[in-house]
Amino acid sequence: MTERRNILEVTGLQMVFGGLVALMDLDFAVPQGVIKAVIGPNGAGKTTIFNIITGVFPPTSGQIVFKGRKITGLKPYQITPLGVSRTFQTVELFGHMTVLENVMVGRHVRSRRGIISAGLRLPVMRREERAIREQAWACLDLVGLADKAETEAGNLPLGEQKALEIARALAAEPELLLLDEPAAGLNETETAGTAALFQRLRDQGLTILLVEHDMRLVMDVSEEVLVLNYGRKIADGRPEEIRSDPEVVKAYLGEDIEYA
């Protein structure tokens, strides 16, 4: 594999929730333009990593560097504009807003008109609003939800809610996209469609960090896999290396690894 610049570097990350160690001295990096998966049993600390990277809470110790800039301790509204965007394991959509409006909120960090120019409906604000709307439509097209634009987000089936979350995250123009179990609850066709979307996005230059339990999806799309167990890293490498790593097999994958 050719040596690439790392878009994300995590060093010495530690997270303790009131005596419970969620992450232990974790180091890893995400090279620019790859799909990297984070796998591990439930409670391994995968979602915790996402929450720390996006600034939902600060780590107990350790450092996150995004595009060469230390982002540890920044707030979500400071981190998202830098180019980090995410989806959630338990869908966190705005249920009473339409599909289009959800994605328009995704444009929040790429627009800046304030409450006064909104209230006075100044021309600059109207122009910006038009741009937000157009770009939101483009994101909906990308995930194939354009025909549902005026539906209330809460009324969509789960598969489409997951797709909508991805569209909303993309609307923020991320360079690093964090996806938390995007295939959970999806059927096989939907999962295949999702995989194709990820590869398309990667080919356009997006870097994706993916938490996923669906092993087939992980092995199909990722260039790198990070394996966690009880908050510790037990392996980090290419899928074929991971598959044959004895510790991974023992701790997590079990005998069923020879599926493919």
Q: Smallest distance, Å, CB 259 to other proteins? A: 33
The residue among 196, 169, 174, 224 whose CA lies nearest residue 38 is 224
119 binds other proteins (CB under 8 A): yes
For residue 210, give the 3-state DSSP assignment: strand
Q: Which is nearer to other proteins, 172 or 234 (CB)?
A: 172
Cα–Cα dist 24/8, whole Å: 18
The residue within the footprint of other proteins, chosen from 113, 213, 216, 232 (CB under 8 A), is 113
38 binds other proteins (CB under 8 A): no
CA atoms within 13 A on the CB side of 209: 30
Asked if 195 and 216 touch (Cβ cutoff 8 Å), the reply is no
The site string for other proteins over 48-87 (x = CB under 8 A, - otherwise) reads ------x-x------------------xxx-xxx---xx-
The site string for other proteins over 170-209 (x = CB under 8 A, - otherwise) reads --x-------------------------------------
105 binds other proteins (CB under 8 A): yes
Which of 17-35 are b and which e, b meaning 16 or more Cβ less than 10 Å from the residue's Cβ? eeeeebbeebebbbbebbb
Options 5-13, 92-100, 182-190, 218-226: segment touching other proteins (CB under 8 A):
92-100
Give residues with Cβ within 8 angstroms of 187, minimum separation 6. Answer: 159
For residue 65, give the 3-state DSSP assignment: strand
The residue among 89, 30, 18, 16 whose CA lies nearest residue 64 is 30
125 binds other proteins (CB under 8 A): yes
The two three-digit tokens of residue 44, written as one number: 């391994």
Q: Which is nearer to other proteins, 103 or 215 (CB)?
A: 103
- Residues at the interface with other proteins (CB under 8 A): 54, 56, 75-77, 79-81, 85-86, 88, 92-97, 101-102, 104-109, 111, 113-115, 118-121, 125, 128-129, 132, 168-169, 172
